[in-house]
Amino acid sequence: YPKGGIMSTLNVNNYGDLPLHLTYINSFVKGLTFWPQNPIYALDKLHYPVGMDFFSSLLSVMGVSLERSLPLVGFFMGILLVWALWSWAGAFGIGAFLFSGGLAGLTIFGQGVLRDFQAEVAWKSLPLALYVPQRGFLYAFPLGLTLLWAWKARFVDRSAKTPFWLEGLLWGLLPLFHIHSFIAVSLIFAIWTVWQRAFKEALPIFAVAVLPATLEVLFLTEYFRQASLLWFKAGWLFKPQEIFFIGDAQSGAVLKVFNGLLNFVYFFFNNFGFYIPLTAFAVYFAHQNKRKDLALLLYPGLGIFFLCFFVMFAPWEWDNTKVMVWGYLLILPALKEILETQIKPTARAILLVALYFSGVVSILATYNSSQTGVEVYNREEVDQVCEALKPLKQSDVVAVVQTFNHPVAICGQQVLLGYGGHLWSHGIKAAPIEEKLRKVMNGDDGWQMLVKELNIRYIFWGTREKDQFRESKKPWALESSIFKSGTWGHIYKVGEF
């Protein structure tokens, strides 16, 4: 939202992610073609699901400004999400999503300060940490839940309600919007198909989805060369010594194991709170009453959840939350039935308060009248830089300092290297190119050869570059022509090919 001459956000998780999405959107508007080159890594194709950003770019081409389209699209998809959650798990499902959390929020009674305590643990607020900053979830959550609802009717309840071709189409498009959700939803489809031996019902859906999904996955994984993003780590984000430790450094093996188990229990309850005993009771109830319909929700859901405690699906362990959330969503209808049929109204009300409390604290702490927000970018600077870059083709490579909100990248112009954190989280090992970029920006010997090697056409020199490369000799200032200048800095034309 505009705040004076600054574009700001109330959600700190949006601080780093939103500029990247603006880069993708504006890159398509400026002329990026399919399958696209990576706008923040000029030496490779894009291996990121950009479905929602491509959709937003279409609105921009139609003349709808991003200041209007981003909140409007978010609001519309939010309505779809509420409808999907209601269809999937009723009012409980909506509350469990919006106010997800464990026991971290209880810290407010000790500190007396309103803030997002859930942000300090591994299982963070789902709307704040996933839904708002991760734009692919705008499609993945409502459409993924719709698929689960349709497949539950088809495979679990045996009362199919939707056309198979529609299910296949939505499923086949999912990788383009969110690859982690595609993995989780596909796993659930496979489990239900095999468990129910419903191969005849599953085959037509699979046949519709397989071609688009396969093509998208091949492009996104660079024909499975990005499979190295899968790696093993027991415990996910659990740290052996979370809070409790009985004994000393010389304690015996038995005591150390006991300490580990004690801290593991603390980790689970601090992150997931009263969902743990409620889920345990649901599993017991399903087993005792031979409720196969509940078992088909609980066992795959818990299986996905605990799989993510050992297999990491991205370089950053926390990104496993994007898969784990589907295990969490899958068990909600079972928990809803337990709450409604097995727990008395008074106890149910108390339990719901306990389940939602930490998540409510997180939401109130983020969106309250005292929140001033954080700066995403300077609106005037970006507008001026975008105007200066208009004559360039989108594919013309510009060398800039690596930062998450550089105006050249936000304008959609191809940069040699974008923010290192984004590159790393996308599985790109850019260290050798970063060293070459440093030599170019410092004007070291041989910088002209590196410019040709890296196909750099322009060098942007602004306040960020001056701060980062203070010792630069800037030889291009003498040897190259100035393409554009302004209060924001200079653009030098260095590549003549």
pLDDT by 10s per residue, the chain, length 497: 888 888 888 888 888 899 999 999 999 999 998 889 999 999 999 999 999 999 999 999 999 999 899 999 999 999 999 999 999 999 999 999 999 999 999 999 988 888 899 998 999 999 999 999 999 999 999 999 999 999 999 999 888 788 999 999 999 999 999 999 999 999 999 999 999 999 999 999 999 999 999 999 998 887 666 545 678 888 898 876 666 566 655 666 666 667 778 888 889 999 999 999 999 999 999 999 999 999 999 999 999 999 999 999 888 889 999 999 999 999 999 999 999 999 999 999 999 999 999 999 999 988 876 777 888 999 999 999 999 999 999 999 999 999 999 999 999 999 999 999 999 888 888 999 999 999 999 999 999 999 999 999 999 999 999 999 999 999 988 888 889 999 999 999 997 64
Task: Take residue 208 and report the two structure tokens written for it.
Answer: 């519709």
Return the amino acid letter for 407: P
Note the pTM of the prediction, 2 decimals.
0.92
Task: Take residue 453 and report the two structure tokens written for it.
Answer: 């090697």
Q: Which of 417, 412, 439 is nearest to 428 (CA)?
A: 417
Q: Quick one: CA dihedral 112, 115, 116, 120, positive or negative?
A: negative
Phi and psi torsions of 90, nearest 5°: 65, -160
What are the DSSP calls for 66-102, one per residue?
Answer: HHHHHHHHHHHHHHHHHHHHHHHHHHHHHHHHHT---
Hey, how many other C-beta atoms are within 10 angstroms of the C-beta on 448?
16
Q: Which of 282, 322, 319 is nearest to 302 (CA)?
A: 282
Give yes or no for a cis peptide into 35 (omega within 30° of 0): yes
- For residues 320 and 313, the answer to whether their CB atoms sit within 8 Å is yes
Q: How would you label 197-208 residue by residue, b for 16+ Cβ within 10 Å and e otherwise?
A: ebeebbeebbeb
**Helix 275-288 to helix 345-366 angle, to the nearest 10 degrees?**
140
For residues 149, 151, 155 and 157, what is the CA-based torsion angle, rounded to 10 degrees? 20
Return d(Cα 449, Cα 28) in angstroms, integer.
30
Instruction: Name, in order, each residue with C-beta under 8 angstroms of 54's C-beta and a sequence gap of 6 or more.
Output: 24, 28
Return the amino acid letter for 136: G
- For residues 7 and 370, the answer to whether their CB atoms sit within 8 Å is no
Task: Take residue 30 and report the two structure tokens written for it.
Answer: 């400026």
